[in-house]
Amino acid sequence: MSGSALRLLSTRLRQHRRAIGSRWRRLSAGRQALLTLAHLRVGHTYAQLAAGFGVGITTAYRYVTEAVELLADLAPTLTDAIRAAST
């Protein structure tokens, strides 16, 4: 996994946490990004992630879901992708 992907996701998570007024979290934004990228890259289960990062399974699931939603927001819409592909 690339350092740039980790930095990008960490930055987005920090911005998101600030925007929603998030309170203290068990993992820093950087660790949440690492947990998410490990899940996406290697396919670790939520139980494996939870054990490795010292959080509960539900927390691992919520962290991954939150981060993936932020990554999805960066993607172009289907209409934009089709328009770009046809030019």
pTM, two decimals, is 0.85
Query: Is residue 84 predicted with pLDDT exceeding 80?
Result: yes
pLDDT of 1 over the 70 cut: no
Number of domains in the chain: 1
More confident call, 60 vs 77: 60
Residue 80's pLDDT band (cuts 50, 70, 90): confident
CA-CA-CA-CA torsion for 32, 34, 40, 46, nearest 10 degrees? Answer: -60
Domain with 79, as residue range(s), is 3-86
Q: What is the pLDDT of residues 42-75, one digit of tens each?
A: 999 999 999 999 999 999 999 999 999 999 998 8
Mean per-residue pLDDT of the chain: 94
Residue with token string 């740039």: 4
Question: Residue 2 has what pLDDT?
Answer: 81
Helix (H) or strand (E) holding 84: helix 78-86
